[in-house]
Structure 1
Amino acid sequence: MFDVKKVEIELGGKTLTLETGRIARQADGAVLATYGETVVLCAVTAAKSVKEGQDFFPLTVHYQEKFSAAGRIPGGFFKRERGATEKETLVSRLIDRPVRPLFPEGFYNEINVIAQVLSFDGESEPDIVAMIAASAALTISGVPFMGPIGAARVGYKDGEYSLNPSMDDVKAGELDLVVAATHDAVMMVESEAKELSEDVMLGAVGFAHDACKKVVEAIIKLAEKAAKDPWEMAAQADLSAAKQKLRDLIGADIAAAYKITDKSARSGALNEARAKAKAAFADATPQDQMAAQKLMKKLEAEIVRGAILKDGTRIDGRTTTQIRPIEAMVGFLPRTHGSALFTRGETQSICTTTLGTKDSEQMIDGLTGLSYENFMLHYNFPPYSVGEVGRFGAPGRREVGHGKLAWRALHPVLPSKDEFPYTIRVLSDITESNGSSSMATVCGGSLSMMDAGVPLKRPVSGIAMGLILEGKDFAVLSDILGDEDHLGDMDFKVAGTSAGITTMQMDIKIAGITEEIMRKALDQAKEGRAHILGEMAKALDSTRTELSAHAPRIETLQIDKSKIREVIGTGGKVIREIVAETGAKVDIDDEGLIKISSSDVNQIEAARKWILGITQEAEVGKIYDGKVVNMVDFGAFVNFMGGKDGLVHVSEIRAERVEKVSDVLKEGQEVKVKVLEIDPRGKVRLSMRVVDQETGAELEDTRPAREPRSDRGDRGDRGDRGPRREGGDRNRRDRGGRDGGGRGDRGPRADGGSAKDDGEPGGLPDFLTQD
């Protein structure tokens, strides 16, 4: 029934299987990719015609994780998969970025790529499997896809690279790098690194490319068995005459416009040139007008790229390695925990850092189960940042991707939870954009965290590199403008510290780049990052030693695990009482680590003392703060150390005689007490009279010491006290007759006296039986 085609290869110690012909047979291309016990289905469908007037390529990629793949039911109120999570959005972009440049110019048919995780083995991330499945499905679908591409993840630990490591190995290692590449060139790089050198990063890319080649060869074998007939592309019209007409008409205007350094003025000049071209084609057909608009963009690209390759002249007059002017300031927002304003040329970001407690951690429900993240970075790109009118609301895929890139750049330099037990949220609001706003977020985010007192290992800076490639001639551009990004061939972002790279992201608009170009870009980026770090240091060169007055304080306290139950109390009664009474937040883990947090240090101290009172033992001779909890005729019971009670005898309340306890004390009154004695049963004897109730200082005890008991001498023979009851208790009289549960015949008590003879051994003495 099924005409199944399949290929298998060994990759990173596991078998990769690509299968088609069994599932989703009505799609243009569908591949079931299996790696270990992780299975991803990717289906590709393409529209057979182009919508009228469409002049762009509508490629849409959706990646979805099924909870059933890991044997889980979604948490929360809704028990089915809902909108895309952050991870699903990021993986969708990860698939989109390397395949989009591999469609031919002028192909505008809508394409839908849907990748679904059907089984997850809990070891390797399914994103690599999804990328491979998408590439294979596109390759066999018949659409004009100039692939295939392969994908691989690389880890690095103890000087060794590893291919497609497990999630645990990635966390324990120094690198998490994803590469997508054709057989001949690298198309995309995404990474997070723990301050690694340029050589190590470049070696990792090469290591991944070798693995990608094996994947590409396997996809080609599958295509040889199962690929559909390729689509016939419509012949492209000869537009050379129209292009020359535009060059003669507005070529000089465009060249002059791109020599204007101010973005607004440059945009105005370009719009005038475009209006002039539009007027020249006013009588043409709609198709010719649309073609003229595309030719206009091509003409702009040729003029800008030619000037850079010919004499190194960039749009704003800089050299290829020059960085735009930088201005940074910190602490300019009075009530935030940390803030920074970072401006580089016409790109600007307001970054704020907020510190929170464990309660503020982000809960993530995914294939691996519930997890918690204590570092968040959110990026916003309002339309006014580029002087436009547009949608303002929830972040789109671009904002999510840019925020995650900055997150990866800063995450490796954060302190551990033990060193800094705070939840950290960095917010980046882009207020101007002409160039890489994600790298401005890295710089501003680093400064704002340092301003907030987060002890980063080292400051982090980031830079965006561009590329102009024509044949064998190329130029690498440092700190690219927005127009250089649009008109260039590469967007290569590198961030790191003075010690090494923390993240690297590369997107290529052409069919890949060589190792020579990538090495030059990395070396040039290193120089640029060092310059930016120097400019950042002018604003703040090290982390502040004090937290903001508005930030919560967190104090950690380690207790014995056996005391956890006492601190929590039955049903959480004790810990709720601590929180209610002191106002501080208290968190305790299974290892006995307690975190006490509040913006008021007095609340923290009160909670700390309370907990110590529960977990520590009282010391004889030490003075404690206490509270009267009960009064009796012979004294008062005082609670001290939070969870301990002791008795202040009436004679220990004051130096002078106290007739009635209630004349001096009342319930709830706070007092200072000294521990006089702790008996073997744990009962505590306290004193107030030897403590100054105002200062807590110890007073001299003027009362004469209690004399020891005198020797009472020989008390003589006490006579026969009767037979000892079985068990040896001579102090209890023999009741007799209780064998078998009966009490025996006690006789009549007409006179109300004892039934036993007064002289009977074991009977009551005469003075207790006389009327």
Structure 2
Amino acid sequence: MLGGRELSIETGRLAKLVSGSVTLRYGDTMLLVTAQARDEKSTLDFLPLTVEFEERHYAVGKIPGSFHRREGRPGERAILSARITDRQIRPLFPKGYRHETQVIITVLSADQQNAPDVLGPIGASAALSVSDIPWNGPTACVRVGQLGGEYVINPTADQLAQSSLDLVVAGTRDAVMMVEAGAQVVSEEALVGAIEFAHREMQGVLDLIETMRAELGREKFNFLADEDLAPDLVPELAAAARAAGLRDALLTTRKKERSANLKALRDRLIEERLPEGEVEGAEEQIVALKAAFGKVEKQELRRLILEEDLRADGRNSKTVRPIWIEARPLPRAHGSAIFTRGETQVLGITTLGTERDELLVDDLTEETQDRFLLHYNFPPYSTGEVKRMGGQSRREVGHGHLAKRAIRAVLPSFEEFPYVIRVVGEVLESNGSSSMATVCAGTLSLMDAGVPLKAPVAGVAMGLVMEEGRYRILTDILGLEDALGDMDFKVCGTAEGVTALQMDIKVGGITPAVMREALAQAREARLHILGKMAEVLPVPRPELSPTAPRILTLKINPELIGKVIGPGGKQIRELEAMGAQITVEEDGTVRVFSADSAAAEAVRARIEGLTKTARVGEEYDGTVVKTTPFGAFVNLFPGQDGMLHISQMSEGRVNAVEDVLNVGDRLRVKIANIDDRGKIDLIRPELEGKIAPREPRPARAGGGDRGPRPPRRD
């Protein structure tokens, strides 16, 4: 049982040719998870692991909405689900394992209450555990919500909609390995408590997988680890590198200069150790020396951090890099800001749109519309590289989603601010923590656009170096510290609490004590960054940007929606031709959207005229449009006339209507009565009380407004 519901894992019935496969069921959500590795070792110098999360629309009884009516490229939710599994299992493959490995998660059934994203990692752990693939698991994964102050394991979709916390935690028997969270501004202590709760609750899942492995698991195949080309080179090369200035090269402040200095030092040391002339095996020796120098570089950097609290750019472990900010650098964008922290720089841009711009989400959840979009772009020039540019990478999707969760918590409701909002983070320079810079730049661009955020949000990436019981937590890590360190822990939030976090561990996991310390240190950094942001934009601008479109909202009687739309949409097309976009909701809410405020006001006035409803007691300056022997018809507003009876025109007797009023005359009138047919009786306000009021017209019995009809004669 997990969260009060049965979790079952089955193997040996489906997909039997694969190395490891399991079928997992939780409620009516079912997944097939397979794991397969190539027999031969890859020539790549990294672990070639791929995780695919396959959503099948038949799982929810739907036919795909694409042109070809079949599933296409993975959507954002599928990519994020695959990344959760990848980040959980990747650190536990043995060091030096280089066999291409593929884990495929296929959603066979989805009940739209029990989310498959946290079930995929459990299935992957079970499939790898029973397979012959070398892997140091098992792991487990759960989601934690918070309802009424109580933690809930694997909340249903309905419960999650009411939860102040959406936390996904993966771990081994003894430690936490991966954390992903979005929150409605919760405290650091509440987060740690939720993580500890998740780790306790996942122990039963670990017991189940270990039992399966013991009873059904296959023997792991032997693999050829990366050959240590010259283990004896490292100590000698380390001594020579230190003597030749390795410390000074590592402590170079700027990234490109540091890389150039380290490369020059490495090349000089290699050249000194190569024999003159062409010698057999020289190429292999160069490869071995480069690998040895890489190990020496990593060892020295970690030693400087642990022993001297000194980092590659000269900072200590708690210092944030220098920050500079510029608001509104782009003249035509609705909101824009540049956020620079050290050598990481992001241009944030906010664009405001209408409901027509909302994103339709067509996946295995209930069909929804997304009114807040955040896109993270990471071009190759941001790291000084040349690479082929294609579609959005999985990394860009993941980083953008994290920034989106961080900011979403402070956005106003759609009723308060009826715009579809798109934020784009253009990474211009990257030397670590570009996703967190996107949070800061995106927040500033929203404030520059005049979006009434509940509070500013900032983000910071924390690192960790841990060896033999010693550790040091690093604030605002560099790219080098991310690559050579043991943790990437991103924390976002306001001055009051956390709105999003993401943690990836390269070692076996970390304890709650280390996590508490990292969160406390991240809070200090976050407050520092928020202070720098407040120096430029302390609060959102009071007015929308001059280039931003205006949305005017009005409420009409739902029964009058047809007047706004008109036959075949004729009326609404005429209104939009005045220079605005119009959306009409079933409850009578009408929104007028235009970049021209004058045009928006003109359209609103026209709609108000079309849908205005007369009420007893209201006064109008009307115009006589018709006279009859018994009275005058007065136009009150477009489409609405009332009748002023001859007996209500003057204190004395009136022989003919034309003696008092003629067509085209203007006069002040008041609505005295509206009968059941909508007919309006008028009086003159200045004569009220001076002449006897006219008796209301009696309601006609049957037959509608023409009275009873005689029987039909065939």
TM-score (norm 2): 0.87
Q: Aligned partner of 2:36: which letter?
A: T
Counterparts of 1:508-657 in structure 2, within 5 Å, are 508-580=505-577, 582-618=578-614, 622-623=619-620, 641-644=637-640
Cα separation, partners in 2 of 1:377 and 1:640, compared to 1, 3 Å: farther
| Contact 1:609–1:641, Cα closer than 8 Å, also in 2 | no
Find the aligned partners of 1:740 and 1:406 in 2 and give their Cα distance. Answer: 73
1:610 shift after superposition: 3.0
Cα separation, partners in 2 of 1:633 and 1:127, compared to 1, 3 Å: same
Cα separation, partners in 2 of 1:625 and 1:527, compared to 1, 3 Å: farther
Cα separation, partners in 2 of 1:676 and 1:28, compared to 1, 3 Å: same
Find the aligned partners of 1:414 and 1:462 in 2 and give their Cα distance. Answer: 16
Q: Give SS of 1:538's match.
A: helix
Q: Which residue number in structure 2 is paired with residue 401 of structure 1?
A: 398
Q: Kindly indicate whether residue 29 of structure 2 is the aligned counterpart of residue 38 of structure 1.
A: yes
Q: Which residue number in structure 2 is paired with residue 751 of structure 1?
A: none
Q: Which residue number in structure 1 is paired with residue 92 of structure 2?
A: 102
Q: Which residue number in structure 1 is paired with residue 297 of structure 2?
A: 300
1:122 shift after superposition: 1.2
Q: Aligned partner of 1:275: which letter?
A: D
Unaligned runs of 5+ in 2: 650-657, 693-700, 702-709
Q: Aligned partner of 1:294: which letter?
A: A
Cα separation, partners in 2 of 1:592 and 1:235, compared to 1, 3 Å: closer
| Contact 1:29–1:45, Cα closer than 8 Å, also in 2 | yes
Deviations 1:688-718 (Å, cap 9, x if unpaired)?
A: xx9xxxxxxx9x99xxxx999xxxxxxxxxx
Q: Give SS of 1:449's match.
A: helix
Find the aligned partners of 1:475 and 1:463 in 2 and give their Cα distance. Answer: 16
Match of 2:476 among 463, 474, 479: 479
| Contact 1:610–1:643, Cα closer than 8 Å, also in 2 | no
Q: Aligned partner of 1:610: which letter?
A: R
Q: Which residue number in structure 1 is paired with residue 231 of structure 2?
A: 240
1:77 shift after superposition: 1.9
Counterparts of 1:584-733 in structure 2, within 5 Å, are 584-618=580-614, 622-623=619-620, 641-644=637-640, 682=678
| Contact 1:460–1:533, Cα closer than 8 Å, also in 2 | yes
| Contact 1:675–1:685, Cα closer than 8 Å, also in 2 | no
Find the aligned partners of 1:546 and 1:199 in 2 and give their Cα distance. Answer: 37
Q: Which residue number in structure 2 is paired with residue 491 of structure 1?
A: 488
Q: Give SS of 2:575's match.
A: helix
1:566 shift after superposition: 4.3
1:352 shift after superposition: 0.7
1:645 shift after superposition: 5.4
1:243 shift after superposition: 1.7
1:297 shift after superposition: 2.1
Match of 2:257 among 265, 269, 279: 265
- Which moves more between the two structures, 492-501 or 365-374? 365-374
| Contact 2:553–2:591, Cα closer than 8 Å, also in 1 | yes
Q: Aligned partner of 1:217: which letter?
A: D
Q: Aligned partner of 1:259: which letter?
A: L
1:615 shift after superposition: 3.4
Cα separation, partners in 2 of 1:101 and 1:740, compared to 1, 3 Å: closer
Higher Cα radius of gyration = 1
Q: Which residue number in structure 2 is paired with residue 129 of structure 1?
A: 119
Q: Give SS of 1:47's match.
A: strand
Q: Give SS of 1:111's match.
A: strand
| Contact 2:95–2:225, Cα closer than 8 Å, also in 1 | no
Find the aligned partners of 2:241 and 2:712 in 1 and give their Cα distance. Answer: 122
Find the aligned partners of 1:739 and 1:606 in 2 and give their Cα distance. Answer: 51
Cα separation, partners in 2 of 1:14 and 1:621, compared to 1, 3 Å: closer
Q: Which residue number in structure 2 is paired with residue 213 of structure 1?
A: 203
Counterparts of 1:78-117 in structure 2, within 5 Å, are 78-117=68-107
| Contact 2:36–2:133, Cα closer than 8 Å, also in 1 | no
Q: Give SS of 2:136's match.
A: coil
Match of 1:348 among 345, 348, 368: 345
Q: Give SS of 2:133's match.
A: coil
Find the aligned partners of 1:211 and 1:254 in 2 and give their Cα distance. Answer: 47
| Contact 1:609–1:642, Cα closer than 8 Å, also in 2 | no
Q: Which residue number in structure 2 is paired with residue 24 of structure 1?
A: 15
Find the aligned partners of 1:361 and 1:550 in 2 and give their Cα distance. Answer: 20
Q: Which residue number in structure 2 is paired with residue 693 of structure 1?
A: none
Q: Give SS of 2:99's match.
A: coil
| Contact 2:96–2:225, Cα closer than 8 Å, also in 1 | no
1:641 shift after superposition: 4.2
Q: Kindly indicate whether residue 129 of structure 2 is the aligned counterpart of residue 139 of structure 1.
A: yes
Q: Which residue number in structure 2 is paired with residue 60 of structure 1?
A: 50
Q: Which residue number in structure 2 is paired with residue 195 of structure 1?
A: 185
Deviations 1:458-503 (Å, cap 9, x if unpaired)?
A: 1011111000100110000111111111111000010100110001
| Contact 2:345–2:429, Cα closer than 8 Å, also in 1 | yes
Q: Give SS of 2:407's match.
A: helix
Cα separation, partners in 2 of 1:682 and 1:532, compared to 1, 3 Å: same
1:274 shift after superposition: 3.1
Cα separation, partners in 2 of 1:67 and 1:410, compared to 1, 3 Å: same
Find the aligned partners of 2:246 and 2:532 in 1 and give their Cα distance. Answer: 34
Q: Which residue number in structure 1 is paired with residue 695 of structure 2?
A: none
Cα separation, partners in 2 of 1:344 and 1:637, compared to 1, 3 Å: farther
Deviations 1:111-131 (Å, cap 9, x if unpaired)?
A: 011101000011021011111
Find the aligned partners of 1:615 and 1:488 in 2 and give their Cα distance. Answer: 66
Match of 1:183 among 166, 170, 173: 173
Deviations 1:437-467 (Å, cap 9, x if unpaired)?
A: 0000111111111111111111011111000
Q: Kindly indicate whether residue 139 of structure 2 is the aligned counterpart of residue 149 of structure 1.
A: yes
1:99 shift after superposition: 1.1
Cα separation, partners in 2 of 1:277 and 1:46, compared to 1, 3 Å: farther
TM-score (norm 1): 0.81
Q: Give SS of 2:317's match.
A: coil
| Contact 1:102–1:147, Cα closer than 8 Å, also in 2 | yes
Q: Give SS of 1:110's match.
A: strand
Find the aligned partners of 1:639 and 1:370 in 2 and give their Cα distance. Answer: 47
Q: Give SS of 1:333's match.
A: coil
Deviations 1:50-81 (Å, cap 9, x if unpaired)?
A: 23x42111101110111000111111423100
Find the aligned partners of 2:324 and 2:226 in 1 and give their Cα distance. Answer: 49
Find the aligned partners of 2:301 and 2:621 in 1 and give their Cα distance. Answer: 79
Q: Which residue number in structure 2 is paired with residue 469 of structure 1?
A: 466
Cα separation, partners in 2 of 1:551 and 1:291, compared to 1, 3 Å: same
| Contact 2:112–2:366, Cα closer than 8 Å, also in 1 | no
Percent identical pairs in the alignment equals 45
Cα separation, partners in 2 of 1:660 and 1:235, compared to 1, 3 Å: closer
Deviations 1:504-550 (Å, cap 9, x if unpaired)?
A: 11000111111111111011001110111101000000011100122
1:168 shift after superposition: 1.8
Find the aligned partners of 2:216 and 2:122 in 1 and give their Cα distance. Answer: 16
Q: Aligned partner of 2:373: which letter?
A: M
Find the aligned partners of 2:149 and 2:47 in 1 and give their Cα distance. Answer: 43
Counterparts of 1:450-469 in structure 2, within 5 Å, are 450-469=447-466
1:38 shift after superposition: 0.5
Once superposed, what is the RMSD of the aligned Cα atoms? Answer: 3.4
Cα separation, partners in 2 of 1:439 and 1:644, compared to 1, 3 Å: same
Deviations 1:85-141 (Å, cap 9, x if unpaired)?
A: 111111111111121111122111100111010000110210111111111111111
- Which moves more between the two structures, 487-496 or 229-238? 229-238
Q: Which residue number in structure 2 is paired with residue 363 of structure 1?
A: 360
Cα separation, partners in 2 of 1:439 and 1:410, compared to 1, 3 Å: same
Q: Which residue number in structure 2 is paired with residue 715 of structure 1?
A: none
